[in-house]
Amino acid sequence: MKTLAKVVGIVGAAAAVIWAMRDRFISVAASREPEPPVLRVASADPEPMSIDAIDGIGPVFAGRLKGAGIDDVSKLASATPDKIAEAAGVSGARARTWIERARSLA
């Protein structure tokens, strides 16, 4: 009876160790798998994103910026805060916020 208890204990301990290590074995095997290929479709003529896509720029500010020649997100992202503030009639802090948002979208 004692021998049977020892065997059951050893088998149970081995099963517990394997069960505890299963995540380690699975994560190592999964990390060795190659990444699937990413398919990119190039657009013939990508349209620039309008500045209306920026949170905080409504039709009034968009009209002011378009009047100053800033009509898409990439132009807004590359402009200076002073130019944006002057064109839209807003504070420099608000202009910097718009530029940061444009850079995150561009």
This prediction has a pTM of: 0.57
pLDDT of residue 2: 82
Domain chopping of the chain, boundaries: 1-36, 51-105
Q: Mean of the pLDDT values across residues 61-76?
A: 92
Domain 51-105: homologous superfamily in CATH: 5' to 3' exonuclease, C-terminal subdomain (1.10.150.20)
- What is the 3-class SS of 45-106, one letter each residue? CCCCCEHHHCCCCCHHHHHHHHHCCCCEHHHHHHCCHHHHHHHHCCCHHHHHHHHHHHHHHC
Residue 93 has pLDDT above 90, yes or no: yes
Report whether 105 contacts 73 (CB < 8 A): yes
- With vertex at residue 97, the alpha carbon angle to CA 85 and CA 58, rounded to the nearest 5 degrees, is 70
pLDDT of residue 18: 80
